[in-house]
Amino acid sequence: MREILGRRRGLPPGRDESGPDRLGAALTFATEWRWPVLPGVAPDSGGPARCSCPDPDCTVPGAHPFDPGLLAASTDARMVRWWWTRRPAAPIVLATGGQAPCAISLPALAAARALTLLDRRGMRLGPVIATPVRWAILVRPYSMEQLGELLYAQDHVPGSLRFHGDGGYLALPPSETGQGAVRWERAPLPGSARPWVPDVEAVVPTVVEALTRTGVSAPEL
């Protein structure tokens, strides 16, 4: 993964009697929103934070692509159906950047504070994805040059802040990963043809402020 170290009801479908409808969600992302997705590695049943991939020190257990690789991410309905028909419990992984959103992720405590500050300042937000340990704010695609200039303007950028840009990835709801269930903290509005997301410049300063206030700076969080 290329990284630099009031809830709303909405789509896609969450849970029915048989459990999370990952195929339905993946089809919504791929065919309606045109977000390229692919199945991720499942968490290992041997432990809550272990991954079924060959890496014993995997830092994102159950939340990354393995086979197929990230470049296979697709918006083709037939491919998506084939993947999740064979592996219905597979996490849904978004290939960030390009025609899909990018994301800013940070530890959950600081993220909750950041959303409160952004709401208080009248900032319009799009979808926000949450796990028990980290939240991710979806933003418009950005270039590395654009991101570099933005970070250079900050006095300090905590190491726990991560950017999921072009060549990166992110697990989407209703996936289950080694860090727990992936859910919408801020869901896309019902009936969205394609969810609106803000510019990265509008979000980063407040996110950095929230991280600084909570004192969360360790890169491993």
Does the CA dihedral 144-146-147-148 come out positive or negative? positive
User: What pTM did the predictor assign?
Assistant: 0.84
Query: Measured between alpha carbons, how far is 60 from 97 in angstroms, rounded to an integer?
Result: 19
Residue ranges of domains in the chain: 15-214
- The amino acid sitting at 97 is G
In tens, the pLDDT along 160-211 reads 889 999 999 999 999 988 888 999 999 998 766 789 999 999 999 889 888 8
CB atoms within 10 A of CB 159: 15
Q: What share of the chain is helix, strand, coil (3-state, %, to 5)?
A: 30, 20, 50
In tens, the pLDDT along 53-84 reads 788 877 787 788 888 899 999 999 999 999 99
| Tokens 């289950």 sit on residue | 176
